[in-house]
Amino acid sequence: MSELRRGSILFITHVGDPGGAEFKMMAIAGTMLESAEVLLLQHGSLEGLLAAAGIRHSVQPLASGTRKVRREGGVASLLRALPGSLAMVRHLARKARAFDVVVCFSQKAFVLASLAKPFMRRPILWFMNDILSADHFHPALIRMLIGLSRFSADGVVVVSQESLNQWLRVGGRREGVSVVVSGIDPAQVARQLDDSRRVGEYRRRFSPHGAPLIGVFGRICRWKGQDLFLRALAAVPGARGVIAGGALFEEQEFNRELQALAAQLGLSDRVTFAGHVDDVMTLMAACDVVVHCSTAPEPSGRVIAEAMFAGTPVIGSNAGGVPEFISDGETGLLTPLNDVDALAAAVRRYLENPQWSREVAARARLRAEENFSSGATVRGFRRALEGL
């Protein structure tokens, strides 16, 4: 890496607001400020975060048709996106020629870079931050991504062993594919957890009378399982809940359904919809339990790693890459997908055994520090880059 010249790595993502993939991208780009630039294909809050970190970046917004393509969509949605995509391909080709390597951090970014590759003639490293299953992707899109990867990806990075297993099941190649964990920046952990005053403020805000506080974190989305969380919370008398995460435009209807469900279950005075929260680990530290209850396999477990660093007992859905983070009964609890009763029982087990819960959380914190730091992510990226 030290031999790469200034401006030699172009990171691309199609989103404007950060998720787990974008935080990982920032952790990597932040270690190579003299040789990295980030290209965003949408305006958003990520611009301010990149600027604060001193990471060079630019924005080239996608055309509306391309922006509206969803991974659940089929061939028709791809065809509608074609005209706007061709203009972006020309821009990417011109931009990428000033760099040595193009690193794609989203599926749309990878597709566009693949189309531009014959013109830019630069190697592509694709961080495939999802799990290529029918739970998340239309079968036609899976076939297209696998086909493009054989043609244009000089290297592919997946985020868990289960993501790799699924990649191979759907026909992905094994050569040039590596697993790189999505780690958390220790400096970010320190910034968010050293402010005990802020932790206390969150506690008083969401549990003013000292009741147990249960939190679920992540974008408001049907497959993230916030409805399961509400049903489980209703089965834990006296506990309060906080739902931390915003809803994108296409999920506003689900957000309204959640509000109605909370009222139907008699939870309106026991649960708070906090919206987007910047310092998620600070809020996690204010919780007694953090719940991860996705209804489909997750590729990785960033929320779980954040809870581990926060020192809060965590529950995870027993599918996808999550079991690679949690050793059941040792560093957390695993529950079956879509099982409200099991989720409620796991919450009660933590609340009824506070000493054991603290021991689980302490073991989880040590595991996170040893295995899930951003240092591991950067080292994995460097190995993948050297393998191009």
- For residues 136 and 142, give the distance between their C-alpha atoms in angstroms, rounded to a whole number: 10
CATH class of 186-371: alpha beta
> How high does pLDDT run on average in the chain?
90
Inter-residue contact 97 to 120 (CB < 8 Å): yes
pLDDT, position 300: 87
Asked whether the beta carbons of 261 and 275 are under 8 A apart, the reply is: no
pLDDT exceeds 60 at position 208: yes
List the domain boundaries for the chain.
9-183+373-386, 186-371
Name the token pair of 348.
């009660």
For residue 164, is pLDDT > 90?
A: yes
Instruction: Report the range of poorest mean pLDDT among 81-85, 175-179, 261-265.
Output: 81-85
- Where would I find the beta strands (DSSP E) of 251-357? 271-275, 289-291, 314-317, 333-335
pLDDT for 68: 53
Average pLDDT over residues 329-348: 98
CA torsion 123→18→128→118, rounded to 10°? Answer: -30
Chain CA centroid to CA 165, Å = 19
**pLDDT at residue 199 in the model:** 96
> Per residue in 113-156, pLDDT tens?
999 999 999 999 999 999 998 888 889 889 999 999 999 999 99
Tokens 């609890």 map to which residue? Answer: 333
Q: Which pLDDT value is given to residue 51?
A: 95
Tell me whether the CATH fold assigned to 9-183+373-386 matches the one assigned to 186-371.
yes
Flag whether pLDDT at 362 surpasses 80.
yes
Please tell me what DSSP assigns to residue 123: -
Q: pLDDT tens digit string along 211-250? A: 999 999 998 999 999 999 999 999 999 999 999 998 876 7
Q: Topology of 9-183+373-386 in CATH?
A: Rossmann fold (3.40.50)
Asked if pLDDT for residue 293 goes beyond 60, the answer is yes
Give the CA diameter of the chain.
62
- 308: its two tokens: 């581990």
107-120 vs 139-152: helix crossing angle, rounded to 10 = 40
More confident residue, 282 or 82: 282
Q: Is the pLDDT of residue 74 over 80?
A: no
